[in-house]
């Protein structure tokens, strides 16, 4: 069970007709390091034309640029980050991040870690984990470039987060996933349903550990850049039943997630999750979870 026809057929059953997409390049201004108006002026003076992303406070699309936006002195000084549009959404969904203790469970290469630090105004603490040691260097470089001050990085599998003996106010679980065709031209030829199921299992293990280390009044934001429901709606439905989590309402770009997946009826609150089909952005899924009040 693989191939373009197989996967596109699944998307159609979920209500989306396949279309080729090329997401626009996006940047996010690090407002802890610069004023928005100043950096926009500087980039425009360099001949970089920006277009405000309507649903993101600090996000801009690169409308036109003669050269790489990853090679300006403004980028090297950490005044902005290059971050895909949909990937800018999860960190913005937390309430009240200032002074909180935050877990970024799968942090490398660090785009969202920097964004969390920016939203926290470098207060509180971020514990950033990644299981792949070689990716920690990329993460550290991002933190240094963007002058992040509030983060501790560990070489650790998110499924072992309880070893840290910390209870977290906020947890970002941007889980490793199967990805999607919008950012990988070879996607259809290399992915099978087995990969999807393997990733879905790993994600459930991560959700289980995240729930263990979450404070009773804490929040988990779960996201993937997969379009496969096993990694998204079905996993969240499983987490509601098995981890006593509830899905919170969120207000962000994207469609309400379907509650009927290939004939299987899910909890109605799954519609509070957001599914983003490829178009202006890559494919994405995001939701916010809390511990169910009646289980506390």
**Contact residues: another protein, CB under 8 A:** 42, 70-71, 73, 76-77, 101, 124-125, 127, 136-141, 143-145, 147, 149-155, 164, 166
CB of 214 to another protein, least distance (A): 16
CB of 153 to another protein, least distance (A): 4
**Active-site residue flag, 252:** no
Q: Are 7 and 191 in contact (CB under 8 A)?
A: yes
Question: Reduced to 3 states, what is the DSSP secondary structure of residue 96?
Answer: coil
Q: Who's near 41: CB < 8 A, 6+ residues apart?
A: none
- The span from the CA of 89 to the CA of 76, in Å, is 23
Minimum distance between the CB of residue 123 and another protein, rounded to whole angstroms? 8
| Closer by beta carbon to another protein, 124 or else 279 | 124
| Torsional class of 146: left (φ above 0), alpha (ψ -120 to 50), beta (otherwise) | alpha
Helix/strand/coil for 234: helix
**267 to each of 211, 220, 246, 257, 289, how far by Cα in Å?**
19, 18, 10, 11, 14
Least distance to another protein, CB of residue 210, Å: 18
Nearest to 153 by CA among 131, 123, 174: 131
Nearer to another protein, 99 or 217 (CB): 99
Neighbours of 83 (CB within 10 A): 20
* Other Cβ atoms within 10 Å of 177 Cβ, number: 23
Report CA-CA distances (Å) from 83 to 59, 73, 142, 282. Answer: 9, 17, 12, 11
* Backbone φ, ψ for residue 228 (5° rounding): -85, 125
Query: Closer CB to another protein, residue 147 or residue 290?
Result: 147
What's the min distance (Å) between Cβ of 92 and another protein? 23
Judged by CB, which is closer to another protein: 86, or 120? 120
Nearer to another protein, 93 or 158 (CB): 158
DSSP secondary structure code for residue 180 in this structure: -
Cross-strand partners of 61: 26, 51
Closest CA to 195 of 227, 160, 243: 227
8 A C-beta contact, residue 62 and residue 69: yes
Identity of the residue, 4 or 149, whose beta carbon is nearer to another protein in the bound complex? 149
Please identify which of the residues 225, 252, 273, 287 carries the catalytic annotation.
225
Instruction: Tell me the closest approach of the beta carbon of residue 68 to another protein, in angstroms.
Output: 9
Active site residues: 225
């Amino acid at each position: 069970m693989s191939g373009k026809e197989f996967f596109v057929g699944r998307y159609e059953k979920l209500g989306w007709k396949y279309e080729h997409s090329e997401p626009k390049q996006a940047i996010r201004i690090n407002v802890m390091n610069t004023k928005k108006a100043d950096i926009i002026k500087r980039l425009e003076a360099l001949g970089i034309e920006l277009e405000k992303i309507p649903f993101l406070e600090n996000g801009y699309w690169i409308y036109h640029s003669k050269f790489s936006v990853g090679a300006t002195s403004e980028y090297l000084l950490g005044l902005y980050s290059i971050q895909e549009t949909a990937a800018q959404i999860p960190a913005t969904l937390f309430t009240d991040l200032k002074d909180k203790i935050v877990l970024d469970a799968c942090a490398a290469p660090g785009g969202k870690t920097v964004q969390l630090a920016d939203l926290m105004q470098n207060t509180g603490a971020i514990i950033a984990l990644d299981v792949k040691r070689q990716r920690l260097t990329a993460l550290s470089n991002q933190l240094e470039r963007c002058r992040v001050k509030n983060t501790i990085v560990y070489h650790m599998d998110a499924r072992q987060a309880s070893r840290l003996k910390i209870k977290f106010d906020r947890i970002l679980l941007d889980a490793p996933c199967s990805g999607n065709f919008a950012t990988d031209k070879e996607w259809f030829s290399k992915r099978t349903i087995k990969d999807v199921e393997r990733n879905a299992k790993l994600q459930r293990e991560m959700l289980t550990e995240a729930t263990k280390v979450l404070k009773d009044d804490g929040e988990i934001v779960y996201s993937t850049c997969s379009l496969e429901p096993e990694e998204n709606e079905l996993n969240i439905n499983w987490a509601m039943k098995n981890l006593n989590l509830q899905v919170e309402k969120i207000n962000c770009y994207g469609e309400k997630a379907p509650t009927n997946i290939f004939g299987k009826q899910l909890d109605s609150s799954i519609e509070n999750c957001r599914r983003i089909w490829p178009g202006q952005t890559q494919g994405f899924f995001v939701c916010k979870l809390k511990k169910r009040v009646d289980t506390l």
